[in-house]
């Protein structure tokens, strides 16, 4: 995506009546970091929700990420929800001292750091103590398919976001999220969010773009492209399929930077 389209894209999505703007990104792929994209979107909008879908927490130093997230949340008027995953591709782990090992223990430690920073508690010591933010606890949504991911959402989060897969494949993960929530004694139900890819203006380009993004995992790239919604009817079927398994919200990810796809999509799902 051309980074210059992001502010206008965000405003058009808000004006069209969508509930949320989501990011899909990773450090090893060309494009903006999630935090940069959502900061730009925050400045161009006033009411639409902002969501990282999902940000890989362990590739960041935790105090830095907590401060970045708190800043975006504050300047947006508290519209940010932080979707978190742990990652699984070595090329995303570019920061010195943050290798792709011990990810579960790291994210559990980092979640404690996030909470401390958002509570306004100094983190670290001496000259290296972090300046506290004193902001709210940013809502957390967790991705991932391992039992530990479901346990984290039950302890720390508001809900779960499924992988970029058909509803039939995501249904079991939703059940895992519900079961962990209940086992933890949480009241009510977790928020369940689904994601799917679409293109309406240029299907061939959209197909190539999303395949390229996932190409380092060819089997998954084939799965995603095979389920890319390219017509109004296919989009409607995707919406129905995720509603049937209990998704509270469906994030439809564009696969080109054609802003006209915003209005095309709105005519299909919001009219």
> What pLDDT, on a 0 to 100 scale, did the predictor assign at position 76?
96
- d(CA 108, CA 114) in angstroms, rounded, equals 10
What is the number of other CB atoms lying within 10 angstroms of the CB of residue 102?
10
When pLDDT is cut at 50, 70 and 90, the band that residue 133 belongs to is low
Rounded to an integer, the average pLDDT of 218-244 is 97
What is the number of other CB atoms lying within 10 angstroms of the CB of residue 107?
24
SS3 202: coil
Rounded to an integer, the average pLDDT of 241-248 is 98
Read off the pLDDT of residues 70-122 as tens digits, 9 standing for 90 and up. 999 999 999 999 999 998 888 888 888 888 889 999 999 999 999 999 988 87
- d(CA 92, CA 58) in angstroms, rounded, equals 10
- d(CA 226, CA 186) in angstroms, rounded, equals 37
Output the DSSP codes for 208-242.
Answer: HHHHHHTTTSHHHHHHHHHT-B-SHHHHHHHHHHH
Instruction: Let me know: does 37 contact 5? Beta carbons within 8 Å.
Output: no
- d(CA 79, CA 70) in angstroms, rounded, equals 11
Q: Residue 201: pLDDT above 70? A: yes
Which string of b and e fits 186-198 if b means at least 16 CB within 10 Å?
Answer: eeeebbbbbbbbb
> What pLDDT, on a 0 to 100 scale, did the predictor assign at position 166?
97
Percent of the chain exceeding pLDDT 90 equals: 83
> What pLDDT, on a 0 to 100 scale, did the predictor assign at position 132?
57
Q: Residue 20: pLDDT above 90? A: yes
- d(CA 114, CA 65) in angstroms, rounded, equals 8
> What pLDDT, on a 0 to 100 scale, did the predictor assign at position 15?
98
For residues 29, 30, 33 and 34, what is the CA-based torsion angle, rounded to 10 degrees?
Answer: -70
Q: Residue 130: pLDDT above 60? A: no
> What pLDDT, on a 0 to 100 scale, did the predictor assign at position 25?
81
Size of the chain in residues:
271
When pLDDT is cut at 50, 70 and 90, the band that residue 156 belongs to is very high
- d(CA 183, CA 60) in angstroms, rounded, equals 30
pTM: 0.94
Q: Residue 126: pLDDT above 90? A: no
**64: which 2 tokens?**
């830095």
Please calculate the CA angle 39-40-45 and round it to the nearest 5 degrees: 95
According to DSSP, the β-strands at 191-198 and 249-254 are parallel
Read off the pLDDT of residues 114-125 as tens digits, 9 standing for 90 and up. 999 998 887 765
Rounded to an integer, the average pLDDT of 149-169 is 97
When pLDDT is cut at 50, 70 and 90, the band that residue 134 belongs to is low
Q: Which residues, in sequence order, are CB contacts of 115 under 8 Å at separation 6+? A: 137
When pLDDT is cut at 50, 70 and 90, the band that residue 128 belongs to is low
- Crossing angle of helices 34-44 and 62-75, in 10° steps, is 10
């Amino acid at each position: 995506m051309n980074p210059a389209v992001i502010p206008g894209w965000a405003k058009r999505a808000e004006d069209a009546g969508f509930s949320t703007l989501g990011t899909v990104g990773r450090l090893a792929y060309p494009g903006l970091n999630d935090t940069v994209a959502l900061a730009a979107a925050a400045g161009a909008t006033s009411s639409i929700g902002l969501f990282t879908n999902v940000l890989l927490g362990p590739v960041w130093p935790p105090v830095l990420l907590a401060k970045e997230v708190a800043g975006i949340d504050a300047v947006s008027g508290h519209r940010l929800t932080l979707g978190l995953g742990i990652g699984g591709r070595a090329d995303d782990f570019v920061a010195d001292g943050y290798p792709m090992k011990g990810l579960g223990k790291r994210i559990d430690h980092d979640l404690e750091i996030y909470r401390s920073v958002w509570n306004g508690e100094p983190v670290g010591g001496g000259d290296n103590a972090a300046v506290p933010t004193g902001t709210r606890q940013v809502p957390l949504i967790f991705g991932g398919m391992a039992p530990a991911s479901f346990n984290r959402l039950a302890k720390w989060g508001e809900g779960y976001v499924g992988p970029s897969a058909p509803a039939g494949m995501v249904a079991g993960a939703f059940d895992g999220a519900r079961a962990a929530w209940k086992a933890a004694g949480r009241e009510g139900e977790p928020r369940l969010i689904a994601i799917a890819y679409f293109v309406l203006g240029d299907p061939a380009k959209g197909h190539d773009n999303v395949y390229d993004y996932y190409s380092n995992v060819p089997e998954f790239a084939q799965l995603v492209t095979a389920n890319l919604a390219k017509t109004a009817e296919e989009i409607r079927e995707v919406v129905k399929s995720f509603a049937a398994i209990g998704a509270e919200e469906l994030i439809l990810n564009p696969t080109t930077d054609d802003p006209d796809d915003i209005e095309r999509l709105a005519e299909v799902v919001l009219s």
